[in-house]
A and B are shown apart, each in its own frame.
Chain A
Amino acid sequence: MRQFDDHRRFSPTAQGAVDPGLGELPEWNLADLYAAPSSQALKDDYAKAERKAAAFAKNIRESSLSLPRRMAQSSPVQLENLKTFKT
């Protein structure tokens, strides 16, 4: 639920060719995240996320009834790891 969109910054829909007077405009390199949508690293991360989410939910269900204190201690760390794939 990251809020990154800039609601205010509507600019009129861009059209036409880029003005050559602007010089060379940079394009981003997304390879810092993944090499490609088909990359093995991405597939592995998907699988890992599913596994961890299920384990996390199970842990909550089981521990929240019996051991609230244990859950309070471990769950934020787990939730955070889940969001970032730290293992």
Chain B
Amino acid sequence: MGRIAAYATLLYTGDTTDPDRAKFYGDMQETLTRISTHLLFFGLEINRIDDGILDAALAAPELAHYRPWLMDLRKERPYQLDDKIEQLFHEKSVTGRGAFNRLFDETMAGLRFDVDGEELAVEPALNLLVSPDAETRKKGAKAISKTLGENIRTFTLITNTLAKDKEISDRWRGFDDIAASRHLANRVEPEVVNALVASVEEAYPRLSHRYYAMKAKWMGMDKLNYWDRNAPLPESDTKLIAWDNARNIVLDAYGGFAPQMADIARDFFDKKWIDAPVREGKATGAFAHPTVPSAHPYVLLNYQGKTRDVMTLAHELGHGVHQVLAAGQGPLMADTPLTLAETASVFGEMLTFRSLLEGAGDVAERKSMLAGKVEDMLNTVVRQIAFYTFERKVHTARLEGELTSEQIGELWMSVQAESLGPAITFDEGYETYWAYIPHFVHSPFYVYAYAFGDCLVNSLYAVYQETDAGFAEKYFEMLRAGGSKHHSELLAPFGLDASDPAFWQMGLKMIEGMIDELEMLDS
């Protein structure tokens, strides 16, 4: 079924406006849902088996291969309820959690943001915040806060209901912390997440506070307005990079790390596994789809020749290399645990970034590249940890009773000020901006995984820079493991341990170092 699903998905993303493709994709999803109902309770059933019997069964050689998968499944056992209750939870979720997720999606899709009489949907409205024109950014920001404000009661209801729904399910299952079920699903221990969060929060002043103060100065302002935070920098690059050139940049960077990595990536170009051009109706953004281990991955891009597009190519090819190497684990265990899912992609991006940076023509170009990278990292690391902290506050407060829109807004504002620092002004209107973030609704407490991935790669890269030989082989070994190993096992060969705050500080030091250099270039 995986092959059909992959085929239908890729066909559809190639042109989402073609009715034949849309129907093929829709029919596939329906069939898939029907078939998977047969399989739904499989995991639950496995977990009914007594430990002794399962252990005996695992002694059989044909099953030994699946041990990591079964052991992983086993971790859910303590939180599993009786069959009837599981079934009730499952069926009720359609009118409970599922219904409120849908209410969010449909409300969001229906919202219109009035900018100079033009009625924009949410995505184009948010895009105004990265406009080079200050007045456009401000208009966009005001329109967003106005519409969100008018609908804030609905979002408050959704937030209150989903937090309560989660509390009910957590209580029945016996989870002792609001984020415990997420940590379990991510296969990461609470103390590891705590070490990450504490390290990032402690570093806020040296990272975001310091950088945005510098950015305000570059933009000739005392303080940035919240709608200026992601404004393009004055001397952002405009030169176009042709496709062949992009290919060479990435393959050279990969090859500089290890010839084997470039060899795997080269297949993507030579065997037509990449869809690069922008086309009418094609899905936006970029992804690497692993399809099934018996085939090969495909990469979708919307290549427009900017430096950012080259970084995206490097990112998706990193996923692609990982998917090729992990395919040997078979379909149940090829998928990397979420916390490590972004390792190869961010690492590939880092290699490419470093090699581009080395080739930077002058100080202005170097500065602009460094600043772009720092902003990306702040958005991934600082911002996502702040989001996680916000969610913790909301869910914790909800335990005491319903929250008003004002209360949620206050929690939001306090977290923003803390994480982004004194160089940014949050005036009236920003207190509703929590409302449009889909992750809070669809996957509570998920956001820290992004920060986890970025910080982890920074630390890994630091080790790489200090190692003379043998790093690449260990790195490939880690990628080949796919989802068959725990993060502690995967990181141990590098002498790294994610539960140690020093591990995270090493990664954060790299961002700090880039900000140091920017300060130096500035003076």
A residues contacting B by CB (< 8 A) are: 2-16, 18-19, 21-30, 32-34, 37, 42, 45-46, 49-50, 53-54, 56-57, 60, 64, 68-69, 71-73, 75-77, 79-80, 82-86
Contacts and interface: CB of A to CB of B under 8 A. Distances in A.
B274 A23 contact: no
A50 B35 contact: yes
Interface stretch (B63-71, B401-409, B473-481, B496-504): B63-71
Nearest to B291: A33
A26 B269 contact: yes
A71 B275 CA distance: 42
A9 B285 contact: yes
Contacts of B219: none
A45 B4 contact: yes
A49 B38 contact: no
B46 A75 contact: yes
A43 to B, nearest CB: 10
Contact of B49 (A11, A16, A68, A76): A68
A22 B2 contact: no
B119 to A, nearest CB: 16
Contacts of A73: 57, 60, 62-63
27 contacts: A4-B288, A6-B345, A7-B439, A9-B312, A9-B315, A10-B285, A11-B312, A21-B305, A22-B240, A27-B272, A27-B275, A28-B273, A28-B300, A33-B3, A37-B21, A45-B1, A45-B3, A49-B4, A56-B38, A56-B39, A71-B49, A72-B49, A72-B57, A76-B70, A80-B331, A85-B1, A85-B3
Contacts of B345: 6
Given A9-B312, A33-B6, A33-B291, 14 more contacts: A2-B2, A7-B450, A10-B285, A24-B243, A30-B14, A33-B10, A34-B4, A42-B4, A49-B1, A69-B49, A69-B57, A72-B70, A84-B331, A85-B3
B87 to A, nearest CB: 14
A22 B242 contact: yes
B289 A4 contact: yes
A60 B124 contact: no
A9 B240 contact: no
B275 A28 contact: yes
Nearest to A56: B38
A48 B439 CA distance: 36
Contact of A3 (B286, B292, B338): B338
A21 to B, nearest CB: 5
Smallest CB-CB A-B distances: 5 pairs: A57-B38, A72-B57, A14-B278, A29-B272, A25-B277
Interface in B7-47: 7-8, 10-11, 14, 20-21, 24, 31, 35-36, 38-39, 41-42, 45-46
Given A14-B302, A76-B63, A26 B272 contact: yes
B243 A25 contact: yes
Contacts of B156: none
Contacts of A16: 278
Nearest to A68: B49
Nearest to A86: B294
Interface in B49-88: 49-50, 53-54, 56-58, 60, 62-63, 66, 69-70
A34 B292 CA distance: 13
A6 B130 CA distance: 20
A77 B62 contact: yes
A63 to B, nearest CB: 9
Nearest to A58: B38
Interface in B299-319: 299-300, 302-305, 308, 312, 315-316, 319
B274 to A, nearest CB: 5
B145 interface: no
A13 B284 contact: yes
Given A25-B276, A26-B276, A75 B42 contact: yes
B175 interface: no
Contacts of A19: 240, 304-305
A68 B355 CA distance: 55
B341 interface: yes
B123 interface: yes
B293 interface: yes
B269 A54 contact: no
Nearest to B63: A73
A61 B365 CA distance: 64
B469 interface: no
A18 to B, nearest CB: 5
B48 A84 contact: no
Nearest to B124: A13
B282 interface: yes
A46 B303 CA distance: 34
A29 to B, nearest CB: 4
Given A80-B330, A80-B332, A6 B305 contact: no
B388 interface: no
Contacts of A77: 62-63, 66
B335 interface: yes
